């Protein structure tokens, strides 16, 4: 077609490319060459490669259409990167570009046969097919999976580097065209900081490629003036090649480049994003070589590429004449201008076109096109007075066709921000309204087109944004606006292939059939037909579809309504949304000692804790050895992560008494007492221990994962009660260990000489303050694991020293550290519950067998009324200890079900094959409130087998609790 591949237009054309820098790349395995600044589609077009992809359903050849990345035609794959828009990605040396959605080759796609059987694939056919007869889906699914997808994902693609940045501006202007620049300049007059975001590599918007006057000089002139002024203003930050992809509450704008997400807060936002040129609908309107008028202008003005040699210009406004004049300036033959309007008026460019004696057919349209891989001719039709059309018999040979029939606002961000659209019959276009107060729309997105009106609209919006005024739906008068958009550029063809939605291959009859199938509301029609659900998200199809619906229903377009745009406006890589991975981790003061002892660390909330200390044996053997050593000698565990709360003040006891279920006002100083917490609905939510160090001083412990919530609730309750008490979360301020085992006292005595550690001096459930290894310490004699033990809390900075001191003197007594897993085994041997494992979101104290921790005579605690109501009803289930009747049976696992009479009657919450007792023990919910030790029940384990269990008394180990009370 062209004998000079890659010869570009010079002199007023090719503004974005640098012809001194050629770039070589491949497409579909063939070598091509472009220039720096080219996008993939412009470089391909320069080399006469117009077919870029195959359409989604019918596999029709498709090519460059908008050159703005608005259509799915331009989607390609580059290496491991799927879904690149050829219109938006610059060519780079060595780039390997692949077409998508073709089976066989781009040139010979054997799935094109679908285009011939289109009759059998009506809209929504896939809802009614592929599943009969029974089993048919198993045949069809793999076939459809292979056919689906606009690209491939390489499962071995490594994660690239992406990051995020924040920005704060008084005014964010989306769109750096004429209107956006005017808005920014105005805002700066009010001393505001301004950000302009534009997707193109340079400011100017449509001024970079559109023609505004007969001579074709005004646009560039205006662009140069405005960009010069912007460059002189320091308080305007300009970001080009950047997309504003989402608008959220209170001026939060998501702005992305390929590698970075900017989270920007604007006090006000001006949307000057322009308008999207719309296609005309006629038979075979989708052939490669048929493009929007602005696409032809972009090719010429930005990239110096000729759209072809002989063109047919379809138009319904003055812009189409501008395209024709641009073609003449580029030395391209314009065989005909077909104007849909019978009475086109006298735009400045139409005047010039007539002056240049171009062939113009007023009141005519294109009825059909011909050519397979590329358009080669069009048929002309006359539009009759009643709106119908008749072919004239004329067929015009051409190698490209442009369409200039109107625009739709590029208003995705308006939708995101919560704005709406109403269709203005006068200018045949949707206009934004009901924007949030901080969001202003201006320019062609706001239905304003002439140079003067855009300048005024931009200044208006910029001023209002800068002054923080509430936005209003208004626009300056623009008499030209009525002559821009054709109200119905659709020539519905009984032979079909007149595409309304290119992404989904929807023809105009498909839209009507969808409605006939019952989906008359635009939202239902969209979901039924897939209209607007493709990559272009309705940018080229929504408006024409709405016009078809309106005409069919005989209502106006406004009452048809619209569907909703959602972020992102431009598809974003998931990597950009993810950014860098930050995984904050909390470490205890003894963290390094654990690593040195080869601990297998596990997460507990945000904390890292040792699960067990690896010894080269199996995990279970290691854990059981830790249990044995603790029960026979002495063990040491890091309990720093457990919650710690200081409650101090004259009302301390009263406060604790109101927040927890048991009785605390009479708790003696120097004693610890079990804490059980319920919420207002009577559900158990946390537990711990209350240590009274003084009349007015309580030190409370809480679970690792529960303490933050407990602290929050405490602050809430005291905000209501206003008791004289200070509550502080000291979890991170203290490190803690539990030293447990028959030798625990002997070890501790070696490091503690200011506390009487004897059984009489420091009985079980006592608390003391003193020093251990010279470190100020709080000592608690509590017994989670059921052995003689002391919990020692010291200031966090001294945790490691404490650990070292105890490990050193404990060596002669066989001290070994033990981890969370061993602790869990030991607590289960004692029948102690773990909140959140043995209790769930509905467990009340009575169900958990904890009535003993609920005060009988208290008049109030949080949740008391609810606990009482539910206790009075009687429990439906109870948490009880169990063993297996056959000691050698397979052990159940947590959450295995209790089955009674074939029904679910509970579940196992904790279970282990106890190393101390050599049999399986556990806790389970049983739906039998009368269940006593000896009652038998069945548990269903893996494979559906049943195992018989028997209710057993708790504690399993050391039932009389003698060992912990030594």
Partner 1 sequence: MAHMLELFPFLGEVRLMRQWAGMSDITPDFAPVMGLTPVENYYIDAGWGTWGFKATPVSGKRMAECVANNTQPSLIEPFKLSRFDDFSLVGEKGAASVGH
Partner 2 sequence: MKLMPCPLNGPRNISEFICRGEVTPMPDTECSDKEWSEYVFMENNTAGEVCEWWFHVPTAYWFIVRRNSVSEEIIETYTVADFFSKHVKEAGS
Contacts with partner 1 by CB under 8 A lie at: 80-83, 153-160, 162, 535, 537, 566-568, 571-575, 577-582, 681-682, 685, 706, 835-836, 840-842, 866, 869-870, 873, 877, 895, 897, 904-907, 909, 927
Yes or no: say if 74 and 55 are a contact pair by the CB < 8 Å rule.
no
Pick the closer one to partner 1 by CB: 81 or 433. Answer: 81
Q: Residue 250's binding partner, choosing from partner 2, partner 1, none, with beta-carbon cut-off 5 to 8 A by kind?
A: partner 2
Residue where the block lists tokens 């008494």: 657
Shortest Å, Cβ 769 to partner 1 = 33
Pick the closer one to partner 2 by CB: 314 or 867. Answer: 867
Pick the closer one to partner 2 by CB: 721 or 813. Answer: 721
Pick the closer one to partner 1 by CB: 841 or 959. Answer: 841
* Contact set for partner 2, span 16-55 (CB under 8 A): none
Binding string, 619-658, against partner 2, x = CB under 8 A?
A: ---------------------------------------x
Pick the closer one to partner 1 by CB: 86 or 550. Answer: 86
Yes or no: say if 297 and 210 are a contact pair by the CB < 8 Å rule.
yes
Phi, psi of 643, deg, nearest 5: -65, 145
> Residue 11, by phi and psi: left (phi above 0), alpha (psi -120 to 50) or beta?
left
Residue 324, class by beta-carbon neighbours within 10 Å (0-12 exposed, 13-18 middle, 19+ buried)?
A: buried
Cα of first residue to Cα of last residue in the chain, in angstroms, is: 99
Yes or no: say if 404 and 325 are a contact pair by the CB < 8 Å rule.
no
Q: Give the number of other Cβ atoms within 10 Å of residue 96's Cβ.
A: 12
Strands (E), 384-523: 389-397, 400-404, 407-409, 420-424, 429-433, 439-441, 499-501, 506-507
Pick the closer one to partner 2 by CB: 153 or 869. Answer: 869
Shortest Å, Cβ 683 to partner 1 = 9
* Residues in contact with 469: Cβ distance below 8 Å, sequence separation at least 6, in sequence order: none
Q: Residue 614's binding partner, choosing from partner 1, partner 2, none, with beta-carbon cut-off 5 to 8 A by kind?
A: none
Shortest Å, Cβ 591 to partner 1 = 22
CA atoms within 13 A on the CB side of 23: 24
Report the distance separating Cα 291 and Cα 311, nearest Å. 11
Pick the closer one to partner 1 by CB: 614 or 681. Answer: 681
Q: Residue 369's binding partner, choosing from partner 1, partner 2, none, with beta-carbon cut-off 5 to 8 A by kind?
A: none
Shortest Å, Cβ 568 to partner 1 = 7
Yes or no: say if 512 and 552 are a contact pair by the CB < 8 Å rule.
yes
Pick the closer one to partner 1 by CB: 318 or 503. Answer: 503
Q: Residue 907's binding partner, choosing from partner 1, partner 2, none, with beta-carbon cut-off 5 to 8 A by kind?
A: partner 1
Report the distance separating Cα 199 and Cα 410, nearest Å. 13
Q: What is the largest CA-CA distance in the chain?
A: 116
Q: Residue 568's binding partner, choosing from partner 1, partner 2, none, with beta-carbon cut-off 5 to 8 A by kind?
A: partner 1
Pick the closer one to partner 1 by CB: 304 or 682. Answer: 682
Q: Residue 249's binding partner, choosing from partner 2, partner 1, none, with beta-carbon cut-off 5 to 8 A by kind?
A: partner 2
Phi, psi of 378, deg, nearest 5: -130, 150
Report the distance separating Cα 896 and Cα 914, nearest Å. 18
Q: Residue 711's binding partner, choosing from partner 1, partner 2, none, with beta-carbon cut-off 5 to 8 A by kind?
A: partner 2
Yes or no: say if 678 and 845 are a contact pair by the CB < 8 Å rule.
yes
Q: Which of 155, 860, 895, 903 binds partner 2 (CB under 8 A)?
A: 860
Taken in order 228, 232, 233, 236, is the CA torsion positive or negative? positive
Shortest Å, Cβ 852 to partner 2 = 23
Token pair in block for residue 151: 């690209």
Local structure of 705: helix, strand or coil = coil
Local structure of 579: helix, strand or coil = coil
Shortest Å, Cβ 896 to partner 1 = 9
Q: Residue 575's binding partner, choosing from partner 2, partner 1, none, with beta-carbon cut-off 5 to 8 A by kind?
A: partner 1
Q: Residue 721's binding partner, choosing from partner 1, partner 2, none, with beta-carbon cut-off 5 to 8 A by kind?
A: partner 2
Question: Over the Cα atoms of the chain, what is R_g?
Answer: 38
Binding string, 231-270, against partner 2, x = CB under 8 A?
A: -----------------xxx-x------------------
Pick the closer one to partner 1 by CB: 268 or 563. Answer: 563
Kind of pairing between the strands at 643-648 and 726-729: antiparallel
* Residues in contact with 734: Cβ distance below 8 Å, sequence separation at least 6, in sequence order: 640, 644, 778, 793, 794, 795, 796
Shortest Å, Cβ 433 to partner 2 = 16
Q: Where are the alpha helices (DSSP H) in 756-862?
A: 799-810, 820-829
Kind of pairing between the strands at 506-507 and 684-694: unpaired
Q: Choose one: 194-202, 293-301, 527-535, 860-868; the region binding partner 2 (CB under 8 A).
A: 860-868
Yes or no: say if 195 and 172 are a contact pair by the CB < 8 Å rule.
yes
Q: Residue 865's binding partner, choosing from partner 1, partner 2, none, with beta-carbon cut-off 5 to 8 A by kind?
A: partner 2
* Contact set for partner 2, span 745-804 (CB under 8 A): none
Helix/strand/coil (H/E/C) assignment for every residue in 128-167: CCCCCCCCHHHHHHHHHHHHCCCCCCCCCCCCCCCEEEEE
Pick the closer one to partner 1 by CB: 557 or 686. Answer: 686
Going by the DSSP 8-state scheme, the letter that residue 104 receives in this structure is B
Shortest Å, Cβ 412 to partner 1 = 10
Report the distance separating Cα 451 and Cα 206, nearest Å. 11
Shortest Å, Cβ 235 to partner 2 = 22
Shortest Å, Cβ 252 to partner 2 = 5
Q: Residue 835's binding partner, choosing from partner 2, partner 1, none, with beta-carbon cut-off 5 to 8 A by kind?
A: partner 1
Shortest Å, Cβ 741 to partner 1 = 32
Q: Residue 156's binding partner, choosing from partner 1, partner 2, none, with beta-carbon cut-off 5 to 8 A by kind?
A: partner 1
Report the distance separating Cα 733 and Cα 155, nearest Å. 45
Yes or no: say if 351 and 264 are a contact pair by the CB < 8 Å rule.
no
Report the distance separating Cα 475 and Cα 455, nearest Å. 11
Yes or no: say if 611 and 824 are a contact pair by the CB < 8 Å rule.
no
Q: How many residues bind partner 2 (CB under 8 A)?
A: 22
Residue 869 makes contact with partner 2 by CB under 8 A = yes
Yes or no: say if 933 and 953 are a contact pair by the CB < 8 Å rule.
yes
Pick the closer one to partner 1 by CB: 81 or 800. Answer: 81
Q: Residue 715's binding partner, choosing from partner 1, partner 2, none, with beta-carbon cut-off 5 to 8 A by kind?
A: partner 2
Q: Choose one: 41-49, 72-80, 91-99, 859-867; the region binding partner 2 (CB under 8 A).
A: 859-867
Pick the closer one to partner 2 by CB: 572 or 958. Answer: 572
Report the distance separating Cα 416 and Cα 591, nearest Å. 47
* Contact set for partner 2, span 702-741 (CB under 8 A): 711-712, 715-717, 719-721, 723, 729
Pick the closer one to partner 2 by CB: 125 or 716. Answer: 716
Shortest Å, Cβ 249 to partner 2 = 4
Taken in order 528, 529, 534, 536, is the CA torsion positive or negative? negative
* Contact set for partner 2, span 676-695 (CB under 8 A): 680-681
Pick the closer one to partner 2 by CB: 580 or 720. Answer: 720
Yes or no: say if 693 and 673 are a contact pair by the CB < 8 Å rule.
no
Shortest Å, Cβ 569 to partner 2 = 17
Binding string, 657-676, against partner 2, x = CB under 8 A?
A: -x------------------
Q: Name the residues that contact partner 2, by CB under 8 A.
A: 248-250, 252, 658, 680-681, 711-712, 715-717, 719-721, 723, 729, 859-860, 865-866, 869
């Amino acid at each position: 077609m062209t004998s000079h591949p890659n010869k570009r237009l010079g002199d007023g054309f090719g503004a974005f490319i640098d012809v001194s820098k050629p770039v070589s790349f491949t497409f579909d395995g063939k070598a091509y060459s472009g220039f720096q600044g080219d996008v993939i589609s412009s470089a391909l077009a320069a080399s006469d490669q117009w077919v870029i992809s195959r359409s989604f359903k019918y596999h029709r050849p498709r090519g460059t259409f908008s050159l703005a990345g608005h259509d799915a035609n331009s989607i390609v794959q580059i290496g491991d990167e799927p879904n690149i828009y050829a219109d938006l990605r610059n060519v780079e040396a060595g780039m390997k570009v692949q077409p998508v959605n073709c089976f066989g080759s781009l040139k010979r796609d054997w799935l094109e046969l679908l285009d011939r059987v289109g009759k059998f694939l009506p809209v929504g056919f896939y809802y009614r097919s592929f599943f009969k007869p029974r089993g048919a889906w198993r045949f069809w699914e793999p076939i459809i999976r292979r056919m689906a997808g606009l690209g491939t994902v390489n499962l071995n693609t490594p994660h690239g580097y992406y990051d995020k940045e924040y920005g704060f501006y008084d005014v964010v202007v989306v769109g750096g065209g004429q209107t956006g620049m005017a808005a920014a300049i105005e805002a700066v007059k009010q001393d505001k900081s301004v950000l302009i975001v534009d997707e193109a590599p340079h400011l100017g918007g449509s001024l970079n490629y559109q023609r505004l006057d007969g001579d074709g000089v005004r646009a560039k002139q205006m662009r140069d003036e405005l960009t010069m002024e912007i460059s002189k203003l320091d308080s305007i930050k300009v970001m080009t090649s950047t997309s504003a992809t989402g608008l959220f509450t209170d001026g939060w704008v998501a702005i992305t480049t390929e590698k970075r997400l900017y989270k920007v807060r604007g006090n006000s936002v001006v949307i000057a994003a322009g308008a999207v040129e719309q296609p005309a609908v006629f038979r075979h309107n989708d052939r490669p070589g048929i493009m929007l008028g602005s696409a032809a202008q972009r090719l010429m003005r930005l990239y110096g590429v000729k759209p072809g040699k002989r063109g047919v210009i379809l138009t319904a406004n003055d812009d189409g004449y501008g395209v024709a004049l641009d073609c003449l300036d580029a030395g391209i033959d314009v065989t005909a201008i077909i104007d849909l309007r019978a009475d086109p008026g006298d735009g400045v460019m139409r005047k010039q076109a007539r002056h240049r004696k171009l062939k113009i057919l007023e009141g005519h349209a294109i009825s059909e096109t011909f050519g397979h891989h590329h358009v080669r001719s069009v048929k002309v039709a006359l539009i009759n007075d009643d709106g119908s059309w008749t072919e004239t018999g004329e067929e015009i040979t051409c190698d490209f066709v442009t369409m200039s029939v109107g625009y739709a606002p590029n208003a995705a961000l308006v939708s995101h921000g919560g704005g709406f659209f109403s269709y203005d019959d006068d200018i045949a276009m949707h206009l934004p309204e009901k924007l949030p107060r901080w969001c202003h729309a201006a320019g062609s997105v706001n239905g304003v087109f002439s140079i003067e009106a855009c300048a005024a609209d931009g200044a208006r919006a910029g001023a209002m944004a800068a002054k923080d005024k509430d936005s209003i739906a208004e626009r300056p008068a623009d008499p030209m606006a009525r002559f821009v958009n054709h109200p119905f550029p659709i020539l519905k063809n009984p032979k079909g292939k007149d595409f309304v939605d290119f992404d989904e291959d929807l023809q105009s009859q498909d839209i009507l059939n969808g409605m006939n199938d019952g989906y008359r509301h635009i939202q239902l029609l969209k979901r039924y037909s897939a209209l607007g659900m493709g990559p272009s998200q309705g940018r080229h199809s929504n408006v024409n579809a709405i016009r078809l619906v309106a005409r069919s229903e005989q209502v106006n377009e406004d009452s048809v309504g619209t569907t909703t745009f959602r972020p992102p406006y431009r598809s974003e890589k998931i990597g950009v949304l993810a950014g860098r991975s930050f995984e904050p981790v909390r470490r205890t003061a003894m963290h390094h000692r654990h690593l040195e002892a080869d601990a297998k660390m596990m997460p507990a909330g945000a904390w890292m804790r040792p699960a067990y200390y690896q010894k080269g044996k199996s995990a279970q053997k290691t854990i059981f050895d830790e249990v044995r050593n603790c029960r026979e000698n002495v063990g040491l565990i890091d309990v720093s992560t457990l919650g710690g709360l200081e409650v101090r003040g004259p009302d301390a006891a009263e406060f604790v008494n109101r927040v927890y279920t048991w009785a605390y006002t009479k708790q003696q100083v120097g004693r610890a007492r079990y804490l059980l917490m319920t919420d207002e609905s009577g559900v158990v939510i946390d537990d711990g221990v209350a240590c009274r160090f003084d009349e007015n001083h309580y030190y409370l412990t809480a679970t690792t994962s529960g303490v933050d919530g407990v602290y929050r609730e405490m602050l809430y309750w005291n905000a209501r009660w206003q008791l004289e008490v200070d509550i502080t979360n000291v979890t991170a301020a203290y490190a803690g260990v539990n030293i447990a085992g028959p030798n625990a006292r002997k070890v501790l005595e070696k490091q503690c000489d200011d506390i009487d550690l004897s059984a009489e001096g420091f009985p079980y459930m006592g608390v003391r303050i003193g020093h251990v290894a010279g470190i100020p310490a709080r000592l608690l004699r509590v017994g989670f694991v059921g052995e003689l033990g002391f919990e020692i809390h010291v200031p966090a900075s001294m945790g490691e020293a404490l650990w070292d001191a105890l490990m050193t003197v404990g060596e002669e007594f066989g001290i070994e550290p033990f981890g969370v897993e061993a602790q869990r085994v030991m607590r289960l041997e004692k029948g102690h519950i773990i909140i959140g494992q043995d209790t769930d979101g509905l467990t009340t104290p009575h169900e958990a067998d904890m009535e003993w921790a609920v005060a009988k005579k208290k008049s109030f605690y949080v949740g008391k009324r609810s606990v009482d109501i539910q206790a009075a009803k009687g429990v439906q289930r109870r948490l009880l200890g169990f063993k297996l009747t056959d000691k050698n049976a397979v052990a159940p696992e947590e959450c295995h079900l209790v089955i009674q009479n074939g029904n679910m009657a509970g579940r196992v919450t904790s279970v282990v094959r106890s190393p101390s007792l050599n049999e399986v023990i556990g806790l389970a919910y049983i739906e039998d409130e009368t269940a006593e030790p000896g009652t038998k029940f069945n548990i269903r384990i893996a494979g559906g087998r049943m195992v018989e269990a028997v209710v057993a008394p708790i504690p399993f180990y050391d039932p009389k609790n003698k060992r912990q009370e030594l």
